[in-house]
Chain A
Amino acid sequence: MSFPDQRSGTRVAFEFIEGNEAIARGALRAKCDFVASYPLTPASSILTYMLQLLPEAGGIAIQAEDEIASMGFCIGAAMAGRKVLTSTSGPGMSLYSENIGLAIMGETPMVIVDVQRQGPATGSATQGAEGDIQFTRWGTSGGLPIIALSPATVGEAYELTYRAFNFAERYRTPVFLLTNKEIGMTKESVSLDAIELPPLVERKRVPPGQSEYVPHFFRTAEEVPAISDFGGEYVVRYTTSTHDQAGYLTTRPEIIQEMLAHYRAKIEMAIDEITLVKQDLQENADTLVISYGVTSRSAAVAIREARSRGRKVSSLVLQTLWPVPERAIQSAMAGVKRIIVPEMNMGQYLIEVERLAPRDAEVVGVNKMDTTLLSPAEILEQGGLQ
């Protein structure tokens, strides 16, 4: 987010929009052309914006009968060549769960937005939280990896939605955007046009003229299979059941293991490409704050304050939460004695940080789940940064 320098005469045009609108705009920028969602605050307005924006762009937006149908419509449309997005909050994520597994199994490119609200269950309708972090990683049976990105600002909601589509297409996988009511329904001044975006990625499609299409063809485990969309030149097979590369059911253990290894390898071997972090490291820092999402903004204020008092504090803000950017985290941890992990939950990413931390470093969670933002003062105090 840049501020126009009035003295230099730079003219930057701003908008004043909420995170949910930025997600819709980012999706459109990524050429999303199919949306199916079921209304659920604080995610509802993403569907509303899409219902306004997509028809004019030649796309389809539909309010499904429930969250299960939202996922079903999207998976069907994605495999027929559409770039799809569905949006919900915690209660809807629970209903998405089984179809998330299908999307992984069928190697379906799709973007799933979770505008987190305080839970469990109906929880505090509608207040913010970051309670779905581990749920997103382990939210379906089988335990296979997914990709999840977490924006901290309205501008990042736009940018990371766009990048989520790129990752979905590149790796043929569901990609989650883990945002928060505190971003989704907060308006901010932002210049979307000033945000630099990478080139758009489209799925690798099977070239014409092949004798047949093998829907899950790979030579090495990490290779992402090319797609032929339903309705294209080839006959396509898609299945929820354990299958071979050709998409036929199989009971052969060695093929099953090979397929499972492939689902995992295509994400985990690409971890460096998927890693998006912002680091602000200080030389000889004894403390590191690892944060993500809206809480990273409170952390930024706390870190500025601590530094102004002479503390040596480094900052690592994670935009990629899954797969865990382990190398970036371990590199930032080098030499620090204390690692602070503030979260609007009871300590979820803390688990990942703890397993990566050097033995002699103390890992401190600053946790709250009372519907209010963690304040800079709470991070300073409970993180021992005073």
Chain B
Amino acid sequence: MSDVRYETYMTGSIKPLPFCPGCGHRTLNEALDGALVKLQLDPEKVVIVTDIGCIGVSDQYFTTSAFHGLHGRSITYACGLKLARPELTVIALKGDGGCGIGGTHLLNVARRNIGITLIVANNFNYGMTGGQHSVTTPSEGITSSTPWGNIEEPIDLCSTAAAAGAAWVYRATTFDKDLADVFATAIEQPGFAMIDVWELCTAYYGPRNQLKKKDLFALLDRQEFKLGLQVDQPRPEYGARYRQACEQRNQVATTKGAIEPSYPNFIDKQTGIVIAGGAGQKIRSSATLFAKGAIYAGLQATQKDDYPITVQAGHSISVIILSPERIDYTGIESPDFFLLLSPEGLARARERIERLPATCTLYADEALELPATNAQVHRLPFADLGVRVGKLHVATTALGALLEDSGLFPAEAFAAAIESFQRPEIAEANVKAMKAGAGLVRKTRP
């Protein structure tokens, strides 16, 4: 804070506040100025954030920084500013209209407890667009969009914010003598603070509903809304919690990322491999390790996966391409190798299997009933072996068998990938599974 004493935060350089005679917005702005004078904050460290409606023009009458955003979204910009620069004092001004269109932001800022102040200028209708009804228009209220009387019920902004977990909530009117002090108290809250300020729209809602000062208080009574402090339950502010959590959190175990090619390979053209199984068979992660093994063997690789949104049920299919050269097109019309490990994989890939060319080798679990196909079929007892090595290792077993049979690259390269990217106990089981798969193929040889 500087040594300068700020007498006002309202600018004299542009025309006076433009509000209608008697409109509550003027009083509200003056009270905000009073609060800022009381707090003596440096103007460049304060941001007044507004959105749409008559109240939305307020920001430019202050000597503080100002952010005038899209209708109903002031809370989002205010949160971005506060998260980015926690030392800023961020005050959002919003109308009751903004609380309707941006209702989700109100709920979420209260829930998260981001340390901004929200001042709602609540005059029960949209002044700027011609006096239409809002989410706070009283029942039976006459507006340009409820000419027969409002048949919707108003929401209580204070109890809505409270229900969403707001730490500090206050209801005031522009007739309150202590409004500036209330604003100052709100601004000083470390967490989210909201003031619902009831006021008169003298252009539309007031005259249409004969709503004057005394009627405003009667309306509060009729709706059984209380004035004054509604919630005062401080809890840690979001940004502070975020920073604390970052400091306290354990370092995420980072897997080794770099793969230095260090094995030979025996592939002279782009080679496509499809592995089709079911959820829980570790198809995708095994395929990734296999591709990494290929990279250890000096190959380029790509991988795409196909699985349903319900990830723990149904099929799981991975498509791998290996090549000694840059891989451009990542689709495969005719795979060179196809591994089929479960009924779910078969169900999903049936048409594809029927179309496999004679140049493709299909390794299929013994138990599966295959459709007619031109592929060269190798039947292997993957599932049986899976009972012994565990379901989680079936895919590694099958890929071990593929390597043994095809000789695409050395099994040592696959083992290197497994050992580099998996925890030791899992890696050990997987290398065993890979070798067991190779054993299955060797057994079939004469």
Contacts and interface: CB of A to CB of B under 8 A. Distances in A.
Contact of B60 (A102, A248, A294): A248
Q: Chain B interface mostly helix, strand, loop or mixed? A: mixed
Interface residues of A, number: 71
A62 B246 CA distance: 13
B80 A72 contact: yes
Contacts of A17: 257
A16 B301 contact: yes
A236 B66 contact: yes
Q: Chain A interface mostly helix, strand, loop or mixed? A: mixed
B195 to A, nearest CB: 21
Contacts of A74: 80
B240 to A, nearest CB: 12
The 7 closest A-B pairs by CB, nearest first: A76-B80, A72-B76, A80-B84, A13-B258, A77-B84, A76-B77, A73-B80
B148 interface: no
Contacts of A253: none
A382 interface: no
Interface string A174-188: 000000001001111
A240 B74 CA distance: 11
Interface string B74-110: 0111111111110110000000000000001101100
Interface string B322-363: 001111111101000000000000000000000000000000
Contact of A234 (B44, B57, B328, B331): B44
Given A16-B292, A249-B60, A235 B44 contact: yes
A230 B77 CA distance: 12
Contacts of B87: 231
B167 interface: no
B357 to A, nearest CB: 14
A99 interface: yes
Given A13-B260, A80-B81, A231-B87, A236 B76 contact: no
Contacts, number: 210
Interface of B: 14, 43-45, 47, 49, 57, 59-60, 63-70, 73, 75-85, 87-88, 104-105, 107-108, 242, 245-246, 249, 251-252, 257-261, 264, 288, 291-292, 295, 298-305, 309, 324-331, 333
A68 B107 CA distance: 14
Contact of B70 (A102, A233, A236, A376): A102
A66 interface: yes
29 contacts: A3-B324, A6-B261, A13-B258, A34-B83, A55-B249, A56-B246, A60-B242, A66-B104, A72-B77, A72-B79, A74-B80, A75-B69, A80-B81, A80-B85, A81-B85, A182-B304, A185-B305, A186-B303, A188-B300, A189-B301, A229-B85, A230-B47, A231-B81, A235-B65, A236-B65, A236-B66, A238-B68, A297-B329, A375-B331
A235 B65 CA distance: 5
Given A76-B49, A237-B65, A300-B329, 17 more contacts: A14-B258, A15-B258, A34-B83, A52-B252, A60-B84, A69-B104, A71-B76, A73-B80, A73-B83, A187-B301, A189-B259, A231-B81, A235-B65, A239-B60, A247-B66, A298-B328, A375-B331
B80 A75 contact: yes
A285 interface: no
B76 A69 contact: yes
A62 B81 contact: no
Contact of A77 (B63, B81, B325, B326): B81
B268 to A, nearest CB: 14
A82 B75 CA distance: 18
A346 interface: no
A122 B264 CA distance: 45
Given A77-B84, A80-B84, A186 B302 contact: yes
A186 B83 contact: no
Contact of A240 (B70, B83, B292, B303): B70
A240 B251 CA distance: 41
